[in-house]
Amino acid sequence: MSEIDRIINLKVERLENVPDAFADRMVAIQRAKFSDIIALLDELDYSGGNIVVNQANLLRIEQIVEQAKDLLTRGEFETVVGELLGEFDDQAAITYKYFDEAFAGFEVPAIANEILAQKKREAVVDLLNSTDQYLTNPVRQALSNAVTSGASRKDVIDVFRLLIEGDADTVGRLDRATRQIVSDTFALSDRAVTNVVSEQIGAKWFRYVGGTMDTTRPFCKARNGKYFSKETVESWGALDWEGKMDGTDSKTIFVTAGGYNCQHSILPVAESAVPNRFKENA
């Protein structure tokens, strides 16, 4: 196996493994904090196992919501997110190594590192927003419904458990959102850095690379492992397919690729590395 192939394989493996590893750790954190979140319900007034419908309980809702959010977005969460951002840096370093092997005289453009920093900021914002959307807001609604209806403590716990842990048939909404967000932001960062370098060196040929699995879209399967001219890749932006990312056009296709949850890369290659049969069909 050539050094270039080894680097490509490493890039592809990390596009899947890094988000999965992060999401697994986040799920562990969420479940470990579950009992602490449930303990916050002790701040409410009860009568016979049911929540008392009174002003004091209504006023406590927002306090409990903020405490629950703090439990999930402080301490270990911050540590794990920091490690994830380090993986963004490592992925960019691997990308730069690829360019160094594939293109003579390569130098990292300053704009590439600026884009990397921006994507890292976006990842943190998206993760915090997902916590609001899939945990904080539903918890607030569940507490409001419980307090205004006099629901039982057990009923509230069941709602919280479904939100955080899911059940036999449903993955927890926060878990599902976290996996989607990290998968997309990590892949988008990787492709954004790759794309800006490609623009800087004036790449004309590209290779669509990545693995395939049961959930791989037909769009990606049809292109995986093949070489394409820049014009051909640009033409994909006008196509429609299931999972296509909003805002995809002839320019952004190099970043959005196959769409949501796509873990493929559109890597620039030297024209000399393109097999003749792909040049003839360009």
* DSSP for 214-277, written as a single string: TT--HHHHTTTT-EEEHHHHHHGGG---TTPPTT--TTTHHHHTT-TT---EEEEE-GGGS-HH
> How distant is the alpha carbon of residue 92 from its chain centre?
16
The residue ranges of every structural domain in the chain are 3-201, 203-282
Contacts of 7 (CB under 8 A, 6+ apart): 94, 97, 98, 101
User: Distance between CA 19 and CA 194 in Å, rounded?
Assistant: 19
Question: Amino acid identity, residue 96?
Answer: Y
User: Distance between CA 145 and CA 139 in Å, rounded?
Assistant: 10
Give the burial class of 246: count Cβ atoms within 10 A of its Cβ; 0-12 exposed, 13-18 middle, 19 or more buried: exposed
Question: What local confidence, expressed as pLDDT, does residue 172 receive?
Answer: 63
Helix count (H) and strand count (E) of the chain? 12, 5
User: Distance between CA 181 and CA 174 in Å, rounded?
Assistant: 10
| pLDDT beneath 70: ranges in the chain | 167-174, 282
Q: Residue 15: name the closest of 266, 237, 201 by CA.
A: 266
pLDDT in tens, 207-266: 999 877 777 899 999 999 999 999 999 999 999 999 999 999 999 999 999 999 899 999
Long-range contacts of 239-245 (CB under 8 A, 24+ apart): 241/217, 242/217, 243/217, 243/219, 244/219
User: Distance between CA 214 and CA 59 in Å, rounded?
Assistant: 49
User: Distance between CA 151 and CA 44 in Å, rounded?
Assistant: 12
Question: What local confidence, expressed as pLDDT, does residue 167 receive?
Answer: 65
Question: What local confidence, expressed as pLDDT, does residue 171 receive?
Answer: 54
Contacts of 138 (CB under 8 A, 6+ apart): 163, 173
Question: What local confidence, expressed as pLDDT, does residue 139 receive?
Answer: 87
Q: Is the pTM of this model over 0.85?
A: yes
Q: Residue 239: name the closest of 220, 262, 224 by CA.
A: 220
Inter-CA distances, 130 with 29, 32, 105, 116, 213, Å: 15, 19, 42, 21, 27
SS3 label, residue 203? coil
Q: Which residue has the tokens 């270039």?
A: 4
SS3 label, residue 202? coil
Question: What local confidence, expressed as pLDDT, does residue 7 receive?
Answer: 95
Question: What local confidence, expressed as pLDDT, does residue 30 receive?
Answer: 82
User: Distance between CA 103 and CA 270 in Å, rounded?
Assistant: 7
Please check whether residue 241 is in contact with residue 190, taking contact to mean a CB–CB distance below 8 angstroms.
Answer: no
pLDDT in tens, 125-141: 998 888 888 888 888 99
Question: What local confidence, expressed as pLDDT, does residue 173 receive?
Answer: 67
